[in-house]
Structure 1
Amino acid sequence: MNRLRHLFLRSIQARLMTFIFVTIILPLLFLGFMTFRASSGIIERSVTLNTSETMDQVLDNIEFHLSGMESVATDIIFNYSINSNLRKMSGRYDEAEIQAVNEIKALLTKQLSMQDGIESVFLIGDDYFLVSSSNTNRASSLDHVPSLMKKQDWYRATSEQGGKSYFTIVPDETTEKTDVETKSIVVDGEQNRPIRMARLFRDIQTGNPLGLLGVDMDYRVIDAIVSRLHSGYNGSLILVDEDGNTIYKRDPSQRFSSSASLAGLKLVSGVDRVNVNGKRMLRIYRTSHLSGWKAVQLIPYSEILAPVQFIKRLTLLLVLICLAASLVMAAFLSSRLVKPLKNLVRLIKKVQHGDLDVRLDTIRNDEIGYLSKNFNMMTARLKEMRSEIYREQELKRQAELSALQAQIQPHFLYNTLDSIKWMAVIRGEQQISDMISALVNLLRSSVNLGDETIPLRREIENLKHYIHIQQMRYCHSFSIEYDVAEEVLDCVVPKLTLQPLVENALFHGLEAIESGGLITLEAKLEDGHLVCRIVDNGKGMSADLIKDVLAGRFQSRFSGISVKNVHERLQLHCGLQYGLTFQSTEGKGTTVTVRFPALRLKGGAQIA
């Protein structure tokens, strides 16, 4: 893992391949995901629409047959012969009543044949029970049948309807013992029973109740409707009445066994999603306007999305193909882009080893071409600079040789002057000896250019040697006084700072004075800075002369260093806030003030 990370961080090609790969694959994955989502949504909406239309057709067909049952009941209720014969029923079972029963049964049988799927028609009153069916053609005297029927919920509900039709299912045979053959139908493992429509039977003349009319429809009619219009999915369908009782059930997978399957059916119609036995189901339900029954169908999402699986596999295959293609493309593009850079890196390594004759040949006009062109220019310039350095080094060696040769001359001069000094001592010329000694010391300190800064103590010693020579030259026509604080003697100053300033005072201030000339050197600390003042009592300097001196038009006769040079060296070493200031009045003398930072030597290093 660390090696891969190290390679990724160091290799532009690896990062470029990753960038190209991610740039290609992420849109593909997003496109595949959105395609799958869109396909799933389209198929779900299509299934919902088709199933809803199918369920509407199922309910329409069921309502058609239920309306047929109502038509049969209406024809019977408004049949004059049936009404007149029913008024004769009194429970005597005499010849007239038996004849009336036969006439009623004949009319019921006739009505039975007028509607497909009607299994039986019966009339029930306080004193009679008459039935007509496909396989029953006799009257039941049966004292117990009316009392048993009146105990059923459907009987009480029909009586409360006040003449409106009531639809339900025929109760189980275990709860209603009659001579009517009640058939149960098994549909996909579900036992279903016939549908019953019950309605109060009233006298068409008086409106008084004569009994209750029941019409039973074979359950296979509904099963045929559902089978013919089934949506094609392995879904489950159930018909429930307004009280939640099951009217019809096709449920091979036992999905409606869960209470969640029928929970929340508050609207007349709707589509929602439910979780039944841990599986996501699409639930679609519709309500019959005639009977109030609800048709509910459950379709597993696994079946709805089955066609999408092909799209999913196809999308995955396309993504894999594009993935491979993107890897090849990324490798190809990164190689094409990085190859010139690799060549450049290879040549740079040669340059690192000193080979400046390399050249990167390219005809590209892009950034890499620009980089290659500048690389060639850089190597050519480096080659030129190397040649210049060789020439400079050669000149430097020659200068060092010349300097080494020049060192012979001062030593020869020191030795010669020393010999002259001792000759003067032998002959008793002490002044000549002292002057030569001062000159030797002054030359030795000024020629030794190794130290740029020296302590103020040494700078004053060198100045004293210079003053001693000048006093002997001018026959002691001037004197010098030193007012130097002990605490500043260890402060460091740039070398040859005071001598050019004292020389300036001699030649521009005191040169015209034959005697009584005085130079005063003051050195002390002021506000944390070292301040030196050179004061003379000479003729002073005009403003123009001061400008000429500061412009460097006058140089020291001893060192060749001008006052301007002293000022610039001070600012270069110490900063722009330091340097020289002149105060001069013609006929009254000149004062030169020098400001230094108060730096001392301690352990060989400068400290503030």
Structure 2
Amino acid sequence: MMMRKNLSFRQKLILSYFSIAIIPLAVLGVFAFNQSTAALKNQAVGNSKNSSETMHNNLQYRLKNYNNIMDIMSFNTKIQQLLSNHYTSPAMMIGDIKDFLEPLMSNLLNFTDEAVQLTLYTRNGLPEVGTYLLSEERLAEEVWYKKEKPDLETRWIADERYLYAVRTIIDMYNTSSLGTLVFKLDKSLVFGELGNLASRSYLWTMSGSDQRIITTDSNLPVNTMELLITAASSGEQVFKVDSRKWLSVSQQITGTDWTLKLLVELNDIYEPSSHILQAALFIILGCTAILLILMAIFSHSLTRRIETLNKAMEEVEAGNLNVKVLTRGQDEISAITNKFRKMLKRLNQMLISEYQNNIVQKELKLRALYNSINSHFLYNSLSTINWKAIRSGVEDISEMTTNRSTYYRTTLNHGREIISVRDEISNVQAYLDIQLMMHDHRFRVEYRLDPAVFDYDTLHLILQPVVENSIKHGLEDLAGTAGIIRVSAVIEEQMIIFLIEDNGPGITPERLEELNRFESKGYGIRNVDERIKLFFGPQYGLSLSSEPGKGTKVKLSVLAYKENTDMKNEIMA
């Protein structure tokens, strides 16, 4: 609603015509895009399900062959006789191993390319023969092995490179365990070439309830893989991860706790539909361009004078009150233009009068602020001089009187508001010399003055209130440490920067924020800040910085000003 109110008349006119033409075209484009996207999605789901079914069947077939090999070894009577070790002659046992067991296991290994090793782990004291026949004690040394209850079913275990088909061989006559059969397979060959994968498709085999990855052909980042595994549940599902759509097809592998997951990134599959969308957009944009040209020509004839008047108003808003507004005709737009011209003339007259009044008010306010400076220091100093004369003699009176004379001269300044920077510094030096005598030299004063500042003038009596504040609040409460007052003055970018520093107890952050907003009851530094801003402008003034326990800094920034250049009138303007 607010946006519509802020539109120009011409924009509203164009927008109304544009809406009437563009809405039907947009609806048609969205409909075509949705239909094509739905068709592509159905096709992708069908193809992915077929691929998943093919790969599932191929893997199931391979696992069945491996189980057949396990059955041949587990239920062979001669192998059971060998593992039972009921031989009366060692020669007969060795003959069965060499003439029967080794050829059988060698042939079974050669039966499939994925086979790496076929091993019988026996517990009846049979001799170890290569990798075919080993003691069951060696099985515990394998990292992948977990001892479980004897089971006629094949258990599948996976590590980084291999799959292990593990089965307990049970005596068919007394159901006791004769040993363990382990069929070691190359994992990359077992899961390789299960079927053709489409572009941006990934096949994962998961194990157990914790969905541990057995194998994957994915080169996706680990965090992306974890997000996909978490999001993809059982069955068929479409979900979104990191603003990209995925299709998941999951199938359980019979005889194992494995799940075969096929994940297909749908964004690339939907790409053909983007061509349809691009064509629709091209048509819409072409029609829109033609429509905009016609609307611009028609609306221009209606809104030209309104725009001219609006531009004149913008110039007035920017500060140009001398803009000329011309019009022809007797219609409503011409009447508004004539009234605006008369209003502008009247406004100029009022601003001239207001400007003159402001100059007078600023002069009066500057004088009032100057006269409001507290004079209690003069009376306190006179009392101190009298006390020192009684206690110390003529020498101290002479020194105090000299400093007082300098202070009076620079403070009164013949009633003028402007003083040279040199005299303003002299005023502070005289004040500090008097304070040193009053405080028995319990602090010291350092001056860091750029000689270039003495070429300029400034408002007088802006430093003394700040120095007085530093002594009163910064040094009088200082115990056990020699106090320091540092007075600095430098020129930076057409400004004179005065810096008054002390090593007093500092100011808390809350109190400092209050002082910088000049919300304190104290009048001295607020008076100085207001005088500087009134004379030089709001970009100048006074600011404080402090850290508890490290002292306080007061920064005064004023214009690098020379009275004889008549800058004051420029600033006041």
TM-score after normalising by structure 1:
0.42
Bigger radius of gyration among the two: 1
Superposition TM-score, scaled by structure 2 size: 0.45
